[in-house]
């Protein structure tokens, strides 16, 4: 990306156009781009739906085979002032997603460097913030893409520790296997029982404290570095891409990195529950009953429902030890959410309407699409009543409402604390590429939390 204040570098230019503009009326387009004399126009219908705009920009720019000029000034001129930061964020983060890719290829492919036309003086602060968010998203994207033979649990810890080093108001700590054992965190230890030493389970804790307020949000991320399914071994096709099963951990920590770099006034803690779900003679088995950190017992009925186990101990730690009064989990948790919402929406569960309002408002500023999903006592009963020997089972007896019952499993461990759950199993991909979803939503949720 290059930034030239008002200079056109290439022949074709992408610009915004008002929906009531005569040129747009002549083409009878609303929200659908059209081309006219080497100009690509995107009509803005009120410029109010930021998630839709972000998606359309992603589609437009990803379909360009050659570099073009992008007249960001034209979008900002038509935008509500409250949405100007969102628009600049979208252009910068989309450009980074499309051009700044982690690769182990010996021959590097040519990068398409679009030319951003933006008043770099007038919008200097918007650009500064967008660059920080882009850096944070790139951190998470890189971790998500790295193969698991490169990104071990040890390496994940090393990378994020180095990234946070020297940042103000940050405390970085790790509960290694010995500490997990002392604390009797049985669930995450069970998931990682078959792992070699470089992949031993652990919980990374990143605390960001920058306000005297007693409000503290915990962002608990699923960090399964690779998921074979355990003894419930995944079929080959389903195992492809499971190096990205740690996306929740990468995204939550990346968002806190952005918070620290932007010096926002908030108290936030990131809890990354890391493990690998592998196979050996030591692997945890079906019908094992495991005691969680909360004290609740869980019967294992499927070893491929491991993410919720690691998260459950992370939730209990955030509540008991870190004294968080709001907990949000982010996880590639279920295939069921992909069937329900595809790649377009992130499924969101909240324990009350006020929390939904907060996270929904944050997603609009982030330009990210969320869909509210239901908590219901029948879903919880399906988990609790599916075992005769423990407090709850890790799956239900049917495949019905799989993402809802998984969310209710986590909800049990929040145990009355304000709770948000995000299932990103579909939305963390765009055309089979991992995308850094929710980094901005978590940033704005925390920044504006009431």
Reported as a single tens digit per residue, the pLDDT across 327-351 is: 999 999 999 999 999 999 999 999 9
Phi, psi of 298 (to 5 degrees): -130, 125
Per-residue pLDDT, 193 = 97
pLDDT surpassing 60 at residue 117: yes
Per-residue CA distances from 374 to 330, 377, 415 (Å): 16, 10, 17
Residue 7 has pLDDT above 70, yes or no: no
Q: Which of 56, 131, 161, 234 is catalytic?
A: 234
pLDDT at 1 over 90: no
Give the mean pLDDT of 380-391. Answer: 98
Mean pLDDT of 385-403: 97
Please say if the pLDDT value at position 5 is more than 90.
no
Residue 34: pLDDT band (50, 70, 90) is low
When pLDDT is cut at 50, 70 and 90, the band that residue 195 belongs to is very high
Query: 106-115, 140-149, 152-161, 378-387 — which is least confidently predicted?
Result: 106-115
Mean pLDDT of 198-209: 98
At 398-416, the pLDDT tens digits run 999 999 999 999 999 999 9
Q: Give pLDDT tens digits for 252-280.
A: 999 999 999 999 999 999 999 999 999 99
Q: Helix/strand/coil (H, E, C) string of the chain?
A: CEEECCCCCCCCEEEEEECCCHHHHHHCCCCCCEEECCEEEEEECCCCCHHHHHHHHHHHHHCCCCCCEEEHHHHHHHCCHHHHHHHHHHHHHHHHHHHCCCCCCCCCCCCCCCEEECCCCCCHHHHHHHHHHHHHHHHHHHHHHCCCCCCCHHHHHHHHHHHHCCCCCEEEEEECHHHHHHCCCHHHHHHCCCCCHHHCCEEEEEEEECCCCCCCEEEEEEEEEEECCCCCCCCHHHHCCHHHCCHHHHHHHHHHHHHHHHCCCCEEEEEEEEEEECCCCCCCCCCCEEECCCCCEEECCCCCCCHHHHHHHHHHHHHHCCCCCEEEEEECCCCHHHHHHCCCCEEEEECCHHHHHHHHHHHHHHCCCEEECCCCHHHHHHHHCCCCCCCEECCCCCCCCHHHHHHHHHHHHHCCCEEEEEECCCCCEECCEECCCCHHHHHHHHHCCC
Q: Compute the average pLDDT of residues 113-134.
A: 94
What is the average pLDDT across 116-137? 96
| Local confidence band at 66 (pLDDT 50, 70, 90 cut-offs) | confident
Least confident stretch, 31-35, 222-226, 289-293: 31-35
Least confident of 35-39, 85-89, 219-223: 35-39
How many Cβ atoms sit within 10 Å of the Cβ of residue 183? Answer: 17
Regarding beta strands 217-227 and 267-277, do their DSSP bridges make them parallel or antiparallel, or are they unpaired?
Answer: parallel
Q: Is 432 in the active site?
A: no
What's residue 247's pLDDT? 98
Split at pLDDT 50, 70, 90, the class of 366 is very high
300 bridge partner residues: none
Q: Does 144 have pLDDT greater than 70?
A: yes
The whole-chain average pLDDT of the chain stands at 93
Q: How far apart are CA 165 and CA 176, in angstroms?
A: 19
pLDDT of residue 17: 87
| 46 has a pLDDT exceeding 80 | no
Q: Among 226, 268, 247, 227, which residue's Cα sits nearest to residue 346?
A: 247
Judge whether residue 230 has pLDDT over 60: yes
Mean pLDDT (whole number) for 176-185? 98
Over range 52-60, report the average pLDDT. 91
Which of 163, 193, 202, 308 is labelled catalytic? 308
* Residue 197 binned pLDDT confidence (cut-offs 50, 70, 90): very high
Confidence bin at 242 (pLDDT 50/70/90)? very high
Residue percentage of the chain with pLDDT more than 90: 83
234 classed as catalytic:
yes
Three-state SS annotation for 261-325: HHCCCCEEEEEEEEEEECCCCCCCCCCCEEECCCCCEEECCCCCCCHHHHHHHHHHHHHHCCCCC
Residue 24 or 233, more confident: 233
149-160: average pLDDT = 98
pLDDT of residue 4: 56
């Amino acid at each position: 990306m290059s930034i030239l204040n008002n200079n056109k570098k290439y022949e074709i230019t992408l610009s915004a156009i008002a929906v009531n503009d005569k040129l747009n009326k002549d083409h009878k387009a609303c929200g659908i781009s059209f081309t006219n004399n080497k100009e690509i126009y995107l009509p803005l219908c009120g410029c109010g739906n930021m998630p839709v705009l972000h998606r359309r920009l992603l589609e437009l720019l990803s379909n360009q085979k050659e570099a073009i000029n992008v007249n960001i000034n034209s979008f900002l001129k038509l935008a509500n002032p409250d949405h100007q930061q969102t628009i600049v964020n979208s252009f910068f983060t989309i450009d980074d997603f499309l051009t700044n890719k982690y690769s182990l290829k010996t021959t590097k492919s040519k990068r398409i460097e679009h030319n951003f036309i933006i008043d770099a003086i007038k919008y200097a602060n918007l650009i500064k913030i967008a660059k920080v968010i882009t850096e944070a998203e790139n951190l998470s994207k890189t971790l998500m893409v790295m193969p698991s033979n490169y990104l071990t649990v040890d390496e994940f810890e090393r990378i994020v520790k180095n990234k946070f080093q020297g940042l103000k108001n940050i405390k970085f700590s790790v509960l290694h296997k010995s500490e997990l054992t002392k604390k009797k965190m049985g669930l995450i230890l069970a998931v990682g029982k078959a792992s070699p030493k470089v992949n031993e389970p652990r919980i990374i804790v990143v605390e960001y404290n920058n306000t005297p307020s007693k409000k503290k949000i915990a962002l608990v991320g699923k960090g399964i570095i690779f998921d074979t399914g355990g003894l419930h071994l995944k079929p080959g096709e389903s195992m492809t891409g499971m190096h990205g099963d740690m996306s929740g951990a990468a995204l939550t920590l990346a968002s806190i990195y952005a918070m620290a770099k932007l010096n926002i006034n908030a108290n936030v803690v990131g809890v990354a529950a890391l493990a690998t779900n592998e196979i050996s003679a030591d692997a945890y088995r079906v019908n094992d009953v495991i005691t969680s950190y909360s004290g609740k017992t869980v019967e294992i009925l499927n070893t491929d429902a491991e993410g919720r186990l690691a998260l459950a101990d992370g939730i209990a730690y955030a509540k008991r030890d870190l004294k968080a009064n709001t907990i949000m989990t982010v996880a590639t948790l279920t295939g069921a959410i992909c069937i329900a919402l595809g790649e377009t929406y992130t499924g969101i569960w909240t324990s009350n309407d006020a929390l939904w309002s907060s996270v929904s408002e944050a997603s609009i500023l982030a330009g990210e699409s969320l869909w509210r999903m239901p908590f219901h006592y029948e879903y919880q009963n399906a988990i609790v009543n599916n075992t005769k020997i423990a407090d709850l089972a890790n799956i239900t007896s049917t495949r019905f409402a799989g993402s809802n019952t998984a969310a209710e499993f986590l909800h049990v461990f929040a145990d009355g604390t304000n709770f948000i759950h995000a299932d990103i199993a579909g939305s963390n991909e765009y055309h089979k590429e991992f995308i850094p979803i929710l980094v901005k939503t978590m940033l704005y949720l925390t920044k504006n939390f009431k």
